[in-house]
Every structure is written in C-alpha cells, then in structure tokens.
Structure 1
Amino acid sequence: MATPIEDDKTPARRKILTAARTLFTTAGYASTTIKAIATEAGVAVQTVYFVFGNKRSVLAALLDVSIAGDDEPIATLDRPWVAAAVAEPDPMAQLRIQVHAARLILDRVAPVLLAVRAAAGADAEVAQLWQTTCEHHETVLRHLMTALAGKVDGLDVDRCVDVGLALQSPETHALLIDERGWSATDYDGWVVGALAAAAGIGNRI
C-alpha cells in the first residue's frame, strides 16, 4: 500500500534528494524514473510530484543543494567563504581560501554534474541546466579572480578564469581524487599552485 503524501515537504524532500543522488549518479538520469526515485526514497510516487513536480526539478534542486551544502536560500556570491576570500589582502591566502571552498563544493557536486553532463546530449532541458550551472561557476570564479587582480598587478583575469575552470572541473576532480587517489590536500595544493602561476604571483613574491 502506497504511503500518503506528507503534509510537511521537508522530510520528504530530503529523502527524495538523497534517493535521486544515488540513482542519478549510478543508473544515470535518463534511466531513472520518478517511480524509481519514490521507491528508493520510501515515499509514494505522488509525494515526489507533490514536492517537486517533475524529474527535471528534482535534478535542479539536487544541484542547488549539492553546490550550497544546505537548503538556505543564499546565493554562492553571498556565502561567507566568498566574502572572506575577497577581503583577504594576501593573494596567496585568497587562493587558498577559494580553492579549499571550491573543492568542498566539488566533493559534493562533482558526481551530480557528471550525471548532468552525460544526460545533456539527449535532453534539451538538462542541457540548459548544464549550461546554466557552467555559467554560474564562471561567474563566481570571475568575481574571485577580479578581486585577486586588485591585489596582483598585471593579472590576466580571463586567463585565470580559464585555468580555474579547467582545474576545478568535475572531470578533473573525479580523475585525480576518485580515480588516481589524490588526497584533498594534494589536490588543493596543486590547484593553488597552478592558479598562482597563471596569475604570476610567484614572480612577485
């Protein structure tokens, strides 16, 4: 017998997102049905529709929560770690703050992003979600690199953004940490060093 739709969306929402993460990152987005998500979450199919409306909305919410690390309606650029990085007067210290925070985000979101990218070729709505997420990443990185440019004369913001996007992609994170066994400390140190080189910081200190 199906369980009733829960009046309080919050417990159901968490169970559904946990189930969706498991299924999207293993079976894939296209192969995962609303029914499968409901079964994995231990809720009624109607509950998934009640809380999210459709599968694409489940995926979008999962991305948001994975990036933020919580359900708080606070944009990435308004997060404390961004403010701390921008306010830090020492350029290397700024890089360490932002790279560490970005890696913690990738720890949560990289598997989901890889599932989104895999599904984007066959689903226009998912492709748009992938594009929007990539643009969001670039916007945040550009904000941070622009702040760094105020501390390092001659820094090429576009170049640093390009390098950052390559170093902090879900593919690079998965390759080095998941497949090659790099520690989080090694990964962070490598990204900081490469970004510092791109920014020309090592030539100035």
Structure 2
Amino acid sequence: MATPNEDDKTPARRKILTAARTLFTTTGYASTTIKAIAAEAGVAVQTVYFVFGNKRSVLAALLNVSIAGDDEPIATLDRPWVAEAVAEPDPMGQLRIQVHGARLILDRVGPVLLAVRAAAGADAEVAQLWATTCEHHETVLRHLATALAGKVDGLDVDRCVDIGLALQSPETHALLIDERGWSATDYDDWVVEALASAAGIVN
C-alpha cells in the first residue's frame, strides 16, 4: 500500500482517527500500536506516520476533533453555542443552552476522555494532554459562570464552576447515560436544575 501524497492526507486522516477512536476506547491507549491503528484503518503503517508522526499526536488530534465535532480550527469559546448562551438574557435560558451544548460534546468525547485519563498515569505526555484538557474545560465553565453572574445577584462563580466540573465530567456522563440508562433529556434537566440551585436561581 503506497504512502499517500498531500491530496490523500485528509481522507486518510479521517480513517485513522476513526480507527484510533475504536481502539483507544476499547483496548486502551497503551495497548494500541501504530500497526494496529493502520490495520483497523486499512492504511499502511507509513501512512499513519506520514499524517500524524506518532501515536500521541493521533490521540491529541482525536481529542480535538471529538471536542469540536469537526476539523475547523475554532476554539470552544468561539463556538456559536457559547456565544448564544452568553447572550441569552434569561439565566435559566442560558443554563439550558450551555448544558445542552456541553452534553453534545460529552456525547462525542466522553469515551476518549476516559481513555486519556486511564493512560495518563503511565505516560507523561498523555498526562500533560489530560491536564491541558481539564484546564480548557474549567476555562469554558468559568467563562459561562461569569456571564451568568452578570444576570444573577450574588452568584458564586467558583462554586458554579466546581459543580459544573463534577456534573459534566466524562465519568458522570458515562455513569448516568451509558450505565444507568438516563436519556439525554433527563441528564440535561438534572444538570440544569443542579446548576440553577447552586446559582440561587428560582425557576
């Protein structure tokens, strides 16, 4: 199988990321080899190296695409759903928008995040990737909580961020939706009500 040229790089990238997602979330990051990713993707081993360089770069790209939902280089804070939430004048309306947007991200990235966390203990580079991702999550939640504080008197931004981190974690999402069978609507409603209670919003 020939190594791709630049024109072939994008379709090869998609195949590799799809294969990596399957393997990282089932057999684990540490147990997955470049050779296994190539075989699952139906490409040559050299193709994986050509497109990504190494396994850690495959994981980082998979994480970024799973969070964004696309290949566009647009940060989460610049995504339309964040702007819509911040611009919403009603506090409960903001919570519904931001919780829904965050849950859609967790639907995509949750299993990948769990794989990253599992691998972080034995791999310093993956540990740094996990730490950076957690910092990014907190930054987004703080941005939204700060916007909410402008609509709710006396709101404790730090407390809202902490509760958001707990309720909208990949572990909580997986427990309630995947293991306990909650619907997406049930999960969203629960998170909204918990955040509203923490913010002192009377619905």
So what's the TM-score if we normalise by structure 2? Answer: 0.97
Closer, same or farther in 2 for the Cα pair 1:163/1:138, shift >3 Å? same
User: Superposition RMSD on alpha carbons, in Å?
Assistant: 1.2
Cα distance change on mapping 1:36 and 1:2 into 2, 3 Å: farther
State how 1:73-112 maps to structure 2 within 5 Å.
73-112=73-112
Length, aligned pairs only: 203
Structure 1 runs (4+) greater than 3 angstroms displaced: 1-7
**How many Å separate the matches in 1 of 2:83 and 2:4?**
44
Residue 74 to residue 4, structure 1, CA distance change in 2 (3 Å): closer
Task: Summarize deviations over 1:73-97 as a string: whole Å, max 9, x none.
Answer: 1010000000000000000000000
| Distance of 2:92 and 2:15 partners within structure 1 | 40
CA shift, 1:4, in A, is 5.4
Q: 2:41: which partner in 1?
A: 41
Whole-angstrom CA distance in 2 between matches of 1:154 and 1:6: 55
- TM-score scaled to structure 1, two decimals? 0.96
Contact preservation (8 Å) 1:5, 1:50: no
Please show how residues 128-143 of structure 1 align to structure 2 within 5 Å. Answer: 128-143=128-143
CA–CA distance in structure 2, aligned partners of residues 71 and 2 of structure 1: 25
Q: Deviations over 1:28-84 (max 9, x none)?
A: 000000000000000000000000000000000000000000000101000000000
Which residue of the partner structure matches residue 175 of structure 1?
175
Deviation at 1:188, TM superposition (A): 0.1
Q: Secondary structure at the match of 2:7?
A: coil
**Which structure 1 segments of 5+ residues have no match?**
none
Gaps of 5+ in 2: none
Do the aligned residues in 2 keep the contact of 1:176 with 1:187 (CA within 8 Å)?
Answer: yes
After TM superposition, give the deviation of residue 111 of structure 1 in Å: 0.1
**Any idea what SS the aligned residue of 1:158 has?**
helix
2:22 and 2:4 map into 1 onto residues whose CA distance is 23
Q: How does 1:108-187 map to 2 (within 5 A)?
A: 108-187=108-187
Query: Are the counterparts in 2 of residues 63 and 112 from structure 1 also a CA contact under 8 Å?
Result: yes
By how many angstroms is 1:8 displaced? Answer: 2.1
**Deviation at residue 202 of structure 1 after TM alignment:** 1.8
Native 8 Å contact 1:138 1:165 kept in 2: yes
Specify the SS of the correspondent of 2:46. Answer: helix
Could you tell me whether the CA contact under 8 Å between 1:16 and 1:37 is conserved in 2? yes
Call closer, same or farther: CA 1:143–1:4 in 2, change over 3 Å: closer
Q: In structure 2, what is the Cα distance between the partners aligned to 1:5 and 1:86?
A: 43
